[in-house]
Amino acid sequence: MEKTLVKSQALFERARRVIPGGVNSPVRAFKSVGGTPPFITRGAGAHITDADGNEYIDYVLSWGPLILGHAHKEVVAAAVEAIAGGSSFGAPTEREVVLAETILSFFPGMEMIRLVSSGTEAAMTAVRLARGYTRRDKIVKFAGCYHGHSDCLLAEAGSGIATLGIPATPGVTQATAADTLTVEFNDIAALDALLDQWGDTIAAVIVEPVPGNMGVVPPADGFLPRLISAARSRGALVIFDEVMSGFRAALGGAQTLWGLDPDITLLGKVIGGGFPLAAIAGKRHIMEHLAPSGPVYQAGTLSGNPAAVAAGIATLTVLSGPGVFDTIAKKTDVLRRGLIDAADSAGIRLRGNAVGTMMSFFFSDGPVDNFAAAKATKSDLFVRWFHEMLGRGIYMAPSPFEALFLSAAHSGRDIRDTVAAARDAFARL
Ligand SMILES: *Cc1c(COP(=O)(O)O)cnc(C)c1O
């Protein structure tokens, strides 16, 4: 089953002449699954349309941010109203205070927050802040966790790095790479050994508490609390990268879901309602090390952009309405069970990992609890499944190492249609 992608093909050829790989972020190019990426012309609710007029049910949702669906009325109205009043000032505005207060109200452990424009920027700032605060250099990260593309966080990163099978990135100096230590997720013994070895040189341990960039891989029982005490006992800070899991694993992220208390939290994606907005939040005594209250420098021309901030406030306001989040989480579970049943009927072993409103599927007999296990799953089957689904109008991320996302806009019918498409697709694998 193939969609006609004549116009997308022509656009992709044009794009490749002027944009490296034809895209402005690598995974969009479909390199690991092959074929032409549909060029999207519009989105409404849970649906997107491509340049050839094909319609899809969208489970990418701009890689997570659009938890209310595309072009949600209140989000659009808020952004338009903001822009009409001036699109950027580079001066403080009341809206920024409102968004800061709103976000902090969901995260009882966080006391202060700084708005930035991308998750990459938030993670890069967190590393600098942790180093400035502890006066130590080394960072510990987990294999398969993605924290954006700043130099020191690219080692064994998930997401596009995993999708493209890039082992290390040219352009990152050896000195920088040497300051990043990597350990397997869910392996507390390995983390302990590493911390013992490097002890008082480690500034921070950074983790996606619910990794979503090697596919969704939930933490084992007790792993995160033990990670926190292991880091603290050596004087290292704990950075939770909740750019994806914030307002996705639960409204207050994984930390609220499980009552955990990191020192620094990174947010992004949902908090910008589809606009460039992210944040670094944390304990007051740490955050006050950021300029201008402290010596650790960080800045941004478009930080706290009015349209992004307005869209973020509107998104969080609607999302925190009674039952809104829980309904999306329930739909996520219904879809997860539907797809696993559909695979079962075709004699295919599919693992569905989900937390809250994020999930992913692995073609695997056993559980997938770390990056090594994720990489060992049958990605050739995933590629075929991906194309069978795309041909049937189901738009998923073109990689087994990316999550699927649900929104308030996905209807019962969308989910039934998706399960029906999956039944047909699995029968042909
Ligand atoms: C998406 C993501 C980032 C990077 O955010 P950008 O806005 O793409 O720079 C960082 N960390 C996690 C966990 C993410 O999912």
Per-residue pLDDT in tens (0 to 9) along the chain, 429 residues: 678 999 999 999 999 999 999 999 999 999 999 999 999 999 999 999 999 999 999 999 999 999 999 999 999 999 999 999 999 999 999 999 999 999 999 999 999 999 999 999 999 999 999 999 999 999 999 999 999 999 989 877 766 666 665 556 788 888 888 899 999 999 999 999 999 999 899 999 999 999 999 999 999 999 999 999 999 999 999 999 999 999 999 999 999 999 999 999 999 999 999 999 999 999 999 999 999 999 999 999 999 999 999 999 999 999 999 999 999 999 999 999 999 999 999 999 999 999 999 999 999 999 999 999 999 998 899 999 999 999 999 999 999 999 999 999 999 999 999 999 999 999 999
56 annotated active-site: no
Is any ligand 1 atom within 6 A of the Cβ of residue 224? no
Cβ atoms of 214 and 401 within 8 Å: the answer is yes
pLDDT score, position 156 = 75
Is the C-beta atom of 150 inside 6 A of ligand 1? Answer: no
Q: Which of 56, 146, 187, 369 is catalytic?
A: 146
Last residue of a domain, one of 264, 285, 319: 319
Cα(346) to centroid of ligand 1, in Å?
35
Nearest to 159 by CA among 177, 147, 151, 169: 147
Q: If you measure from the C-alpha of residue 260 to the centroid of ligand 1, how many angstroms do you get, rounded to a whole number?
A: 21
pLDDT computed for residue 162 by the predictor: 64
Query: Coil, strand or helix: which one is 415?
Result: helix
Do 169 and 79 share a structural domain?
yes
Whether 141 and 202 map to the same domain: the answer is yes
Closest CA to 124 of 240, 261, 280, 277: 280
Structural domain for 216, as ranges: 74-319
**Is the previous residue joined to 292 through a cis bond, with omega within 30 degrees of 0?**
yes
Beta-bridge partner residues of 181:
140
> Do residues 22 and 97 share a domain?
no
Whole-number Å distance, alpha carbon 342 to ligand 1 midpoint, is 31
In the listed set 269, 289, 319, which residue is the last one of a domain according to the structure?
Answer: 319
Q: Is the CB of 211 under 6 A from ligand 1?
A: no
Domain check: are 125 and 204 in the same one? Answer: yes
Whether 357 maps to a domain, the answer reads no
Question: For residue range 97-108, what is the model confidence (pLDDT) as tens digits?
Answer: 999 999 999 999
Question: Could you tell me how many helices (H) and strands (E) the chain has, helices first?
Answer: 15, 14
Note the pLDDT of residue 165: 58
182 and 285, same domain (yes or no): yes
Ligand 1 proximity of 241 Cβ (cutoff 6 Å): yes
pLDDT at 297: 97
The number of angstroms, rounded, from the C-alpha of 260 to the middle of its chain's C-alpha atoms is 20
- Residue 147 is assigned to a structural domain of this protein: yes
> How does strand 404-405 pair with strand 55-58?
unpaired
How distant is the alpha carbon of residue 198 from its chain centre?
29
Q: Give pLDDT, residue 60.
A: 98
Q: Are residues 205 and 266 in the same domain?
A: yes
Q: Which helix (H) or strand (E) holds 255?
A: helix 253-257
* Number of separate domains in the chain: 2
End position of a domain, from candidates 270, 290, 319: 319
269 among known catalytic residues: yes
Say yes or no: 23 and 127 in one domain.
no
417 burial (CB, 10 Å; 0-12 / 13-18 / 19+) is middle
The pLDDT value recorded for residue 266 is: 98
Mutate to test the pocket of ligand 1, among 127, 145, 146, 302 (most ligand atoms within 8 A of CB): 146
Question: Within a domain: residue 330?
Answer: no
Active site residue 297: no
Is 14 in the same domain as 110?
Answer: no
Does residue 419 form part of some domain? no
* Ligand 1 contact, 179 CB (< 6 A): no
Taking the C-alpha atoms of residue 194 and residue 191, their distance in angstroms, rounded to an integer, is 5
Please give the number of the atom of ligand 1 that sits closest to the Cα of 148.
4
Among the listed residues 315, 300, 339, the one whose alpha carbon sits nearest the alpha carbon of residue 421: 339
What's the DSSP call for residue 207? E
Measured CA to CA, the distance from residue 188 to residue 171 in angstroms comes to 31
**Does 261 fall in a domain?**
yes
- Least Cα distance to 159 among 378, 374, 333 occurs for 374
What single-letter amino acid sits at 286? Answer: I
Q: What is the 72 CA–ligand 1 centroid distance (Å)? A: 22
Q: Would you say the CB of residue 70 lies under 6 angstroms from ligand 1?
A: no
Question: Residue 173, exposed/middle/buried by CB under 10 A (0-12, 13-18, 19+)?
Answer: exposed
Tokens of 391: 């041909």
Shared-domain flag, residues 23 and 95: no
Spacing, Cα 279 to ligand 1 middle (Å): 11
Q: In CATH, what number is assigned to the domain containing residue 150?
A: 3.40.640.10
d(CA 19, CA 37) in angstroms, rounded, equals 14
Task: Report the amino acid identity of residue 107.
Answer: F
Catalytic member of 31, 138, 141, 269 = 269
* Residue-by-residue DSSP string for 375-398: HTS-HHHHHHHHHHHHHTTEE--S
Give the pLDDT of residue 361. 96
Task: Using the Cα atoms of residue 98, residue 103, residue 104 and residue 110 in order, give the sign of their dihedral.
Answer: negative
Classify residue 46: in a domain, yes or no: no
Please pick, among 241, 263, 369, 414, the residue that the annotation labels catalytic.
Answer: 241
Based on the fold, state whether residues 21 and 112 are members of the same structural domain: no
Output the pTM of the full model: 0.97
The Å distance, Cα 119 to ligand 1 centre, comes to: 4
Distance 63 CA to ligand 1 centre (A): 9
User: Which among 63, 117, 120 is the best mutation to test ligand 1's pocket, defined by most ligand atoms within 8 Å of the CB?
Assistant: 120
Statement to judge: residues 3 and 99 lie in one domain: no
**According to DSSP H, which parts of 107-245 are helical?**
119-134, 159-163, 174-178, 188-198, 223-232
